[in-house]
Amino acid sequence: MNVEHVRAWLYGYRDRLTAVQGLLDELDNRIGDGDHGTNMLRGFRAACEHLGEAASPSEVLHKVSMGLLSTVGGASGPLYATAFLRMSQAWRGMEDISIKDLANGLNAALAGIQQRGGANVGDKTMVDVWAPATECISSDPTEHGVREASRAARQAALNTRQLVARRGRASYLGERSVGTCDPGSVSSAILFECLAITLVEGMEADPWTAQVL
Amino acid sequence: MNVLHPNPDRFVTDMLDGFVRSYPGLARLQGTQVVVRAQFDRKVGLVSGGGSGHEPAHAGYVGYGMLDAAVAGQIFTSPTPNEVLSAIRAVNQGFGVLLVIKNYTGDVMNFEMAAEMAQDEGIAVEKVIVADDVAVENSTFTIGRRGVAGTVFVHKIAGASAQRGDSLQEVKRIADKVAARVFSMGLALSPCTLPTTGKSSFELPAGQVEIGIGIHGEPGVRRGPIAPLAELVDTLISRIVEESSLGENDEVALMINGMGATPLGELSICARYATARLDDLGVKIYKSLVGEYMTSLNMAGFSVTVLKLDSELKSLLDAPAHAPAWR
């Protein structure tokens, strides 16, 4: 993965966010405050504006992180910003990112998300998606592993529907949070799907998000 | 319900411009969504803030004897760390800065990141996290209670402490003391409408009340039929009494807070029942506030806040303050 691939991943994600903004807002409306899609799209639109100036994968992600930090706010702003910042740090000085490097970056990102937000697997947060997807790529650092990560991420996002939220604003609902997928998990799963589309030949966007509502 | 249609992209910025133009003692920090006092005193700085939609919080509490800066995020969305950092830099007079944070995941993360950035620049920063909402169970497995209307008492009392020249550590001690002694709970009769999307924050069938709401339009912890007002007030007070172990001869400050679309007359009726209930328990009401202090856009409903006082807190509560929304 070179700097062009990283840019393609993020531009692809921004474009998918344009399409799913309403869906993410609706999920968030059911168990939070209804603006996850709006905030993510605002953030990634701003964050993607100056990516052309970045010379390396690490620089691209650093710009994304700073862009998100200064535009998103809420809980998702610092969490996604921390994830990209840690990945950027893990890739410092590298021109070409192998899938093994990718796994290292994702593990650093996951650790950052957990440190900042304090969530564990099963709390109905984005960690529920990042943990299994990162594990797929770590244990199988090949194109196949990246494809499996996308699948695992999607399944994990759908599985959050059954969980009781223990972190974030949905946690105030307790048992009433059951029955709705976690919006941050869905936006995270789309990020892993966009990653696979960038790296895996012949992989295309799947209409799975229709199942989340 | 019909609503005004302000430009959603300009909602916060237009609101802040209108606000500072209406109150000469306030100014907007250029290029930010931070409202500050037009002039700072040589003292510990106090900064609070959070998502917009809670007006008059928090900009309404900027003024002599209260906050030095309020940072406004998008509607119901915590402001970003760099906005909070701008506020910290602006109010720091060399005596350090206290951040008053409501216990919501986003607020805590963004304010803590800003605090770390300010500390890197050599500014002494402390924080108090307000978690007064007793509707939510306190548990080590969750993020704990939300910060709601009780935060206004922290602004007032910590503000008075800073204004009289207390050190940062002393202002923090007093702020923590207020946070530990303030208890709130609210209910809603209708959801709020998000001006950005025009949508309701939740659906509430006719004849139902949502009990234990937060201030971001999130649904409550349970739902039930609308009981007579005396019973609804009783539900809230009972839970507060249970959690605060309020008893005979305790002295309190009481706040009946409207959520945005409840007429003041109805809030006074709530106050009538709340005070009667506290009288029955032998609790002395030292000060009573009725009005809109921490709203949730156009939500209909109210919250009850009780602050347990002692002589130290009473004198700071009585100290003069001049902020648009404190009365």
Tens digits of per-residue pLDDT, A22-31? 999 999 999 9
Domain match, B117 and B238 both? no
Structural domain including B117 reads 14-181
**Which residues partner with B45 through β-bridges?**
B97
Chain A neighbors of B78, CB-CB under 8 A? 73-75, 77
Q: Supply the pLDDT for residue A33.
A: 80
Nearest to B110 among A38, A78, A171 (CB): A78
Token couple for A85: 């910042």
Find all residues with CB under 8 Å of B39, minimum gap 6, and list them.
none
Distance CA A161, CA A212 (A): 8
Q: What is the percentage of chain B residues whose pLDDT exceeds 70? A: 97
Token couple for B196: 């950005």
| Number of folded domains that form chain B | 2
Confidence grade of residue A171 (pLDDT, cut at 50, 70, 90): confident
Domain-ending residue, one of B148, B181, B214: B181
Chain A neighbors of B219, CB-CB under 8 A? 173, 176
The number of residues making up chain B comes to: 327
Confidence grade of residue B4 (pLDDT, cut at 50, 70, 90): low
Q: Give the count of beta carbons closer than 10 Å to the beta carbon of residue B249.
A: 8
Find all residues with CB under 8 Å of A6, minimum gap 6, and list them.
A57, A60, A61, A97
CA distance A163 to chain B (A): 14
Question: Is B112 within the bounds of a domain?
Answer: yes
Q: Supply the pLDDT for residue B32.
A: 96
pLDDT tens digits for range A113-139 = 999 999 999 999 999 999 999 999 999
Confidence grade of residue B2 (pLDDT, cut at 50, 70, 90): low
pLDDT tens digits for range B103-120 = 998 999 999 999 988 998
pLDDT tens digits for range B194-241 = 887 778 878 888 999 999 988 887 777 789 999 999 999 999 999 999
Distance CA A102, CA B204 (A): 46
Taking the domain A3-211, which CATH number applies?
1.25.40.340
Q: Side by side, which strands form the sheet with B26-28? A: B26-28, B34-37, B69-75, B45-52, B97-102, B125-130
Domain match, B64 and B150 both? yes
Domain match, B215 and B273 both? yes
Question: Is B70 within the bounds of a domain?
Answer: yes
Angle between helices A127-139 and A99-117 (to 10 degrees): 150
pLDDT of B140 higher than 70:
no
| A142-146, B189-193, B261-265, range with the lowest pLDDT | B189-193
Find all residues with CB under 8 Å of B322, minimum gap 6, and list them.
B25, B63, B64, B65
Chain A neighbors of B216, CB-CB under 8 A? 32-33, 169
Angle between helices A143-159 and A183-199 (to 10 degrees): 160
Question: Is B96 within the bounds of a domain?
Answer: yes
Q: Supply the pLDDT for residue B3.
A: 63
Confidence grade of residue A81 (pLDDT, cut at 50, 70, 90): very high
Domain match, B202 and B111 both? no
Question: Is B40 within the bounds of a domain?
Answer: yes
pLDDT of B273 higher than 70:
yes
Distance CA B63, CA B44 (A): 14
Question: Is B322 within the bounds of a domain?
Answer: no
Confirm or reject contact between A113 and chain B (CB < 8 A): no
Token couple for B62: 């900027």
Nearest to A74 among B78, B194, B219 (CB): B78
Per-domain residue ranges of chain A: 3-211
Closest CA relative to residue A192, chosen from A2, A1, A9, A3: A9
Chain A neighbors of B81, CB-CB under 8 A? 69, 78
| B57-61, B92-96, B138-142, range with the lowest pLDDT | B138-142
Residue with tokens 């344009």: A18
Domain match, B281 and B142 both? no
Contact criterion met (CB < 8 Å) for B216 and A117? no
Q: Which chain A residue has the Cα nearest residue B72?
A: A73
Q: Supply the pLDDT for residue B138.
A: 65
Dihedral of the CA atoms B322, B317, B262, B220 (nearest 10)? Answer: 130
Encoded amino acid at B222, one letter: R
Token couple for B217: 């339009």
The CATH number assigned to the domain holding B135 equals 3.40.50.10440
Which residues of B lie closer than 8 Å to A, measured between beta carbons?
51, 73-82, 104-106, 109-110, 113, 135-136, 141-143, 146, 194, 196-197, 199, 201-202, 214, 216-219, 221
Distance CA A171, CA B283 (A): 33
Domain match, B264 and B167 both? no
pLDDT of A2 higher than 80:
yes
**Strand pairing report for B45-52 and B97-102:** parallel
Confirm or reject contact between A67 and chain B (CB < 8 A): no
pLDDT tens digits for range A32-44 = 888 899 999 999 9
Domain-ending residue, one of B154, B181, B208: B181
Domain match, B55 and B191 both? no
Tell me the three state secondary structure of residue B134: coil
Q: Give the count of beta carbons closer than 10 Å to the beta carbon of residue B6.
A: 13
Report which DSSP code applies to B209: E
The secondary element (H helix, E strand) that includes residue B109 is helix B105-120
Q: Distance between alpha carbon A200 and the CA centroid of its chain, in Å? A: 18
Q: Give the count of beta carbons closer than 10 Å to the beta carbon of residue B180.
A: 13
Confidence grade of residue B5 (pLDDT, cut at 50, 70, 90): low
Domain match, B218 and B70 both? no
Measured at the CA of B27, the angle between CA B24 and CA B29, to 5 degrees, comes to 175
Confirm or reject contact between A174 and chain B (CB < 8 A): yes
Question: Is B130 within the bounds of a domain?
Answer: yes
CA distance B202 to chain A (A): 7
pLDDT tens digits for range B295-305 = 999 999 999 99
Domain match, B137 and B246 both? no
Distance CA A103, CA A138 (A): 5
CA distance A132 to chain B (A): 22
Question: Is B297 within the bounds of a domain?
Answer: yes
Q: Supply the pLDDT for residue B69.
A: 98
User: What is the ipTM score, two decimals?
Assistant: 0.76
By the 8 A CB rule, do A184 and A79 touch? yes
Tell me the three state secondary structure of residue A91: coil
The CATH number assigned to the domain holding B217 equals 3.30.1180.20
Contact criterion met (CB < 8 Å) for B216 and A25? no
Question: Is B323 within the bounds of a domain?
Answer: no
Contact criterion met (CB < 8 Å) for A171 and B51? no
B106: exposed, middle or buried (Cβ count in 10 Å: 0-12, 13-18, 19+)? buried
Domain match, B132 and B71 both? yes
Mean pLDDT of A186-198: 98
Dihedral of the CA atoms B120, B122, B124, B130 (nearest 10)? Answer: -20
By the 8 A CB rule, do B76 and B312 touch? no
Domain-ending residue, one of B181, B200, B219: B181
pLDDT of B142 higher than 70:
no
Confidence grade of residue A51 (pLDDT, cut at 50, 70, 90): very high
Q: Distance between alpha carbon B87 and the CA centroid of its chain, in Å? A: 18
Residue with tokens 């940062």: B168
Confidence grade of residue B45 (pLDDT, cut at 50, 70, 90): very high
Q: How far apart are the first and last CA of chain A?
A: 33
Token couple for A180: 């709705």
Domain match, B170 and B266 both? no
Strands (E), chain B: 26-28, 34-37, 45-52, 69-75, 97-102, 125-130, 182-190, 208-211, 222-225, 251-258, 284-291, 300-308
Q: Side by side, which strands form the sheet with B208-211? A: B222-225, B208-211, B182-190, B300-308, B251-258, B284-291
A101: exposed, middle or buried (Cβ count in 10 Å: 0-12, 13-18, 19+)? middle
Find all residues with CB under 8 Å of A95, minimum gap 6, and list them.
A2, A3, A56, A57
Token couple for B126: 């402390």
Q: Supply the pLDDT for residue B130.
A: 97
| A73-77, A198-202, B60-64, range with the lowest pLDDT | A73-77
Domain match, B212 and B65 both? no
Token couple for A86: 């840690």
Mean pLDDT of B62-79: 96
